[in-house]
Amino acid sequence: MSELINNREERIKNLKGLMEKISSEDSGIEVREEISKMLKAVPYDEVIAAEQELFEDGKLKDNMLELCDLHSQALNGLLTVSNLKAPAGHPVSIFRKENQAIKREISFLQKLFNEINEMSDDDSCSDTLLKIHSHFNNLMDIEKHYLRKEYQLFPYLEKYNISGPSTVMWGKHDQIRGMLKNSIEALKNSAGADAASIKALIEIVFQPALKMIDEMIYKEENILFPMALDTLNEKDWYEILNQSDEIGYCLFEPVEKWEPQDKDILASFIPKESSKVKMPSGAMTVEELTNVLNTLPFDMTFVDKNDHVRYFTEGSERIFQRNKAILGRKVQFCHPPSSVGTVERILNDFKSGKENKAAFWINMKGKFIYISYYAVRDKESNYLGTLEVTQDLTELRSLEGERRILEYDQN
């Protein structure tokens, strides 16, 4: 046994054999017991090495998702995790913060599930169901977490010939996406359902989705992130970081921004001062354009043609607060379940060309708030997205007479 423990190649060879065996339906328990007896600890890099070799041999391609689940369960609790840390603002630190936020949502849902499971079968659970719907809406934000892995982290791993884990994880991402979508659909169709019906959904639909998300977090924290920290260099990470804002973040807004210790890398990413945003009626630097938009006396939020939030102004006195965690998020999941139907109707009417504007006004904390939505179209009237504009009209509504001489308002 000591020869096996101290011999990396033999350990990987035996681990590969166990991974192949574990694909057999009736051998999972036996293989797990065998792994437990053989290895008191399996370094994560050996798991990756074995998985990569199997993938390159074509032995993971047909049943890679099943093997991923089975060998993850078998190795659960046996992995020796790297001690490498990621500083605040580093892409891995951001991924981990997002995982913490995801786990909080799962914890909230588990408490709500317990509330329903303690109810009598014929009890109404409408209030609890609305809360469950809200937390599942939050979990849909996981899309941005997975997209940054798929389109930013995985390509850099592939530069170092590490492709097996990426392919396996991408497949699991798609399964999770499907399960979350099914959960949302089930919630939409469950209004007024009694506790017995929701208990069945919890067992059949909701819990399996949460379990798969939790297992993915385990794989990331114990295998993917340590391996990536060992493999990628500072330039790789800084390139990933500078691409991240475009996709957005999951349930978390990074405040600190990590910078590489190598100042040459940092200098290579400094934008040229002369760069400007060119528009048909003029050009401005990004700084000028940003501050012009933030100076406007109203708030704006832009949602693209695929319903993703892409931009919002950051004026000093916003009416409704926004944070960068919503960027890249489906706008439907930025609203409470009770108003999603209205949001979707506006978007559908804009997309079809039936309407171009929708407006609402409300009294809030002594202020008269005007909220309007505009369809954004190109010259050929193709739909590009929706612009939300929110204004405080309290002062304007109170104006009387005229002002024809200069007089500054009190700040």
How would residue 2 be classed by pLDDT, with cut points 50, 70 and 90? very low
> 411 pLDDT exceeds 60?
yes
CATH fourth-level superfamily of 277-397? PAS domain (3.30.450.20)
Of 4-18, 111-125, 160-174, 247-261, the poorest mean pLDDT is in 4-18
**91-266 falls under which CATH superfamily?**
nmb1532 protein domain like (1.20.120.520)
Q: Please tell me what DSSP assigns to residue 39.
A: -
pLDDT score, position 39: 46
pLDDT of residue 58: 63
**pLDDT class for 335, splitting at 50, 70, 90?**
confident
Print burial letters for 159-185: b (CB count within 10 Å at least 16), e (below 16).
Answer: eeebebbbbbbeebbebbeebbebbbe
Residue 236: which of 262, 209, 215, 218 has the closest Cα?
Answer: 262
DSSP string, 291-346: HHHHHSSSEEEEEETTSBEEEE---TT-SS---GGGTTSBGGGGS-HHHHHHHHHH
Residue 349 has pLDDT above 90, yes or no: yes
Q: What is the pLDDT of residue 40?
A: 46
16 three-state secondary structure = helix
Q: What local confidence, expressed as pLDDT, does residue 1 receive?
A: 44
Domain boundaries, the chain: 2-80, 91-266, 277-397
The answer to whether the CB of 331 falls within 8 A of the CB of 303 is: yes
Helices (H), 163-206: 164-188, 195-201
Q: Output the pTM of the full model.
A: 0.77
Of 95-99, 242-246, 298-302, 353-357, least confident by mean pLDDT is 242-246
Selection from 298, 293, 265 nearest residue 279 by Cα: 293
The pair of structure tokens assigned to 373 is 């939505």
